Amino acid sequence: MQTYFISNGTHVKIGRTYKPVEKRLAALQTASHLPLEILLIFDGDREKEFHLKFDAHRTSGEWFLLSPELREFTGAPGPFFLWLVNQVSRHVHPNDFVSDFAHDAVLGDTCFPKHSTEYSALRNHLVYSHTSCRAARVGLARAYRQWQLSIRRAR
């Protein structure tokens, strides 16, 4: 038996299965209009343990809000990191601090706190990592402001 965390981008299903998790994913995908992905797999039946651990984030049955706590636990990327990925893929800010920072965070920095949306945690990562140069800090500040503006515009 295995315990799995499967996400639709905003919520996570914590469940268990005797079959391969990939088959369970395929079965769940037929009932979901959103693309699903496997975030974590544990050997053994740990479903109840995780249901209790994340009970505060439960929305319905075995589905839980993909909260910052769950993002950190599963390693799922947060909205700021996903916005950075989009900036890199669209080449929105060519040849500037935001583009350089986004490119480094998405493609170069394997320790970047992808789940975090707190500016202080992101900045602390830069300060304690080898990328603490001024350009990286300026890029982060500008990228974070632009991300917050994009959220306000979307509302």
Q: What mean pLDDT comes out for the span 31-36?
A: 89
Q: Which two tokens stand for residue 3?
A: 């315990």
Per the prediction, the chain carries an average pLDDT of 81
> pLDDT for 119-151, tens place per residue?
777 777 666 555 556 667 777 787 878 878 877
Listed residues 18, 45, 74: the one ending a domain: 74
Domain span at residue 8?
Answer: 2-74
CA-based nearest residue to 106, from 88, 119, 122 = 88
Q: Determine the Cα–Cα distance for residues 155 and 150; give it in Å rounded to an integer.
A: 9
CATH at 145:
1.10.150
Residue with tokens 């304690």: 128
| Residue 45, amino acid | D
Which of residues 147 and 115 earns the better pLDDT score? 147
Confidence tier at 13 by pLDDT (50, 70, 90): very high
* Whether pLDDT at 14 is above 90: yes
Number of domains in the chain: 2
